């Protein structure tokens, strides 16, 4: 791992995610050894829009039970489990952060889906897989930690088959303005590499991909945050009435820690200002 990759993995390893999730499940009255994947949705989709955004992306892809799927930067495995559950496909996740890989494996075992999803430690810029091993690659909210976009696309192209598809959903730079830190993917500018849609298109074209579809999801993201905020306000009003004020047992605070409020505020402020936006791009092997 490079020094930068060490820094990225350190940031994502800062909280004992698996223990926090197990404690949250117990707090909700679940047996952590036997859970339905949906129970984890508040915590295991670590990108803007959560499972709704993953479903939106998948709606535009042809996935079948025999599609070999790779999830690059698979986090704690939510998107991989969603793909396996919806299509019956086998999904391989790869992630830089060993603690996330360990958590992804443990949660998948708890959900009883380890026969369909597997997770490896590795970098998007040097994937530990042979050429043409997959038909579909996904990458959700990962490129913001990787300065070398050309390497991401080169590696994705190498491991995809001749008719392969690469579906990307990243936060990209869409306008002028400084980013305030922390944000959900970086405590400081040192590990943040937000690039423009044009940077992604150029790197993709150089690696041999054609762009099939591109969608700026800023408006949908802001609507999503408003709904989350309204639900949180309603929950806290109810808690105040019953005198028990505590964060929900499962949520992205389990991954982002106590600075989640500041991280979200900085990110939402930058989306509102037009500085950044979540952008979805679907590429095919040209």
Ligand X SMILES: C[S@@+](CC[C@H](N)C(=O)[O-])C[C@H]1O[C@@H](n2cnc3c(N)ncnc32)[C@H](O)[C@@H]1O
Nearest approach, Cβ of 222 to ligand X (angstroms)?
19
User: Among residues 92, 103, 108, 145, which is the contact residue for ligand X, using CB under 6 A?
Assistant: 145
**In which region does residue 274 sit, left (phi positive, over 0), alpha (psi from -120 to 50) or beta (all else)?**
left
Residue 134 in contact with ligand X, rule: CB under 6 A: no
Residue 141 in contact with ligand X, rule: CB under 6 A: yes
Measured from the CB atom, the residue of 220 and 239 that comes closer to ligand X is 220
Measured from the CB atom, the residue of 87 and 169 that comes closer to ligand X is 169
User: Among residues 89, 91, 140, 271, which is the contact residue for ligand X, using CB under 6 A?
Assistant: 140
Any residues with CB less than 8 A from the CB of 233 and at least 6 apart, and which?
A: none
Residue with token string 């500085």: 275
Nearest approach, Cβ of 241 to ligand X (angstroms)?
34
Residue 12 in contact with ligand X, rule: CB under 6 A: yes
Q: What is the 3-state secondary structure (H, E, C) of 195-251?
A: CCHHHHHHHHHHHCEEEEEEEECHHHHHHHHHHHHHHHHHHHHHHHHHCCCCCCCCC
Closest residue to bound ligand X by CB: 75
- Residues 182-201 binding ligand X (CB under 6 A) are 185
Residue 100 in contact with ligand X, rule: CB under 6 A: yes
Measured from the CB atom, the residue of 31 and 59 that comes closer to ligand X is 59
User: Among residues 24, 73, 249, 278, which is the contact residue for ligand X, using CB under 6 A?
Assistant: 73
Nearest approach, Cβ of 95 to ligand X (angstroms)?
5
Nearest approach, Cβ of 85 to ligand X (angstroms)?
15
Q: Are 76 and 102 in contact (CB under 8 A)?
A: no
x/- track of binding to ligand X for residues 19-58 (CB under 6 A):
--------------------------xxx-----------
Q: How many residues bind ligand X (CB under 6 A)?
A: 24
Any residues with CB less than 8 A from the CB of 45 and at least 6 apart, and which?
A: 51, 53, 54, 78, 79, 82
Residue with token string 């579809």: 213
Nearest approach, Cβ of 1 to ligand X (angstroms)?
9
Measured from the CB atom, the residue of 5 and 135 that comes closer to ligand X is 5
Token pair in block for residue 206: 């150089």
**In which region does residue 198 sit, left (phi positive, over 0), alpha (psi from -120 to 50) or beta (all else)?**
alpha
Residue 280 in contact with ligand X, rule: CB under 6 A: no
Residue 96 in contact with ligand X, rule: CB under 6 A: yes
Q: What is the 3-state secondary structure (H, E, C) of 101-143?
A: HHHHHHHHHHCCCCCCEEEEECECCECCCCCCCEEEEEEECCH
**In which region does residue 282 sit, left (phi positive, over 0), alpha (psi from -120 to 50) or beta (all else)?**
beta
Nearest approach, Cβ of 33 to ligand X (angstroms)?
23
Q: Which of 259, 189, 187, 238 is nearest to 11 (CA)?
A: 187
Residues that bind ligand X (CB under 6 A): 5, 8, 12, 45-47, 73-75, 78-79, 95-97, 100, 123-125, 140-142, 145-146, 185
């Amino acid at each position: 791992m490079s020094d930068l990759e060490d820094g990225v993995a350190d940031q994502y390893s800062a909280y004992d995610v698996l223990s926090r999730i197990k404690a949250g499940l117990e707090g909700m009255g679940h047996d952590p050894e036997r859970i339905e994947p949906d129970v984890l949705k508040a915590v295991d989709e670590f990108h803007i829009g959560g499972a709704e955004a993953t479903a939106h992306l998948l709606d535009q892809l042809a996935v079948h039970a025999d599609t070999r799927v790779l999830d690059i930067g698979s986090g704690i495995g939510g998107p991989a489990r969603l793909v396996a559950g919806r299509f019956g496909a086998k999904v391989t996740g790869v992630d830089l952060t060993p603690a996330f890989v360990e958590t992804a494996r443990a949660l998948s075992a708890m959900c009883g889906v380890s026969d369909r999803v597997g997770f490896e430690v590795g970098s998007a810029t040097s994937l530990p897989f042979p050429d043409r091993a997959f038909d579909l690659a996904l990458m959700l909210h990962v490129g913001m930690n990787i300065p070398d976009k050309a390497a991401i696309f080169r590696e994705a192209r190498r491991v995809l088959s001749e008719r392969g598809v690469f579906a990307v959903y990243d936060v990209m730079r869409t306008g002028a303005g400084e980013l305030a830190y922390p944000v959900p993917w970086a405590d400081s500018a040192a590990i943040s590499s937000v690039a423009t849609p044009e940077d992604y298109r150029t790197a993709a074209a150089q690696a041999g991909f054609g762009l099939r579809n591109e969608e700026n999801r800023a408006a949908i993201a802001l609507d999503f945050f408003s709904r989350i905020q309204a639900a949180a306000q309603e929950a806290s009003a109810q808690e105040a009435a019953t005198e028990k004020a505590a964060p929900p047992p499962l949520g992205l605070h389990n991954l982002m820690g106590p600075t989640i409020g500041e991280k979200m505020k900085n990110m939402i402020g930058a989306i509102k200002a037009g500085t950044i936006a979540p952008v979805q791009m679907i590429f095919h092997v040209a």
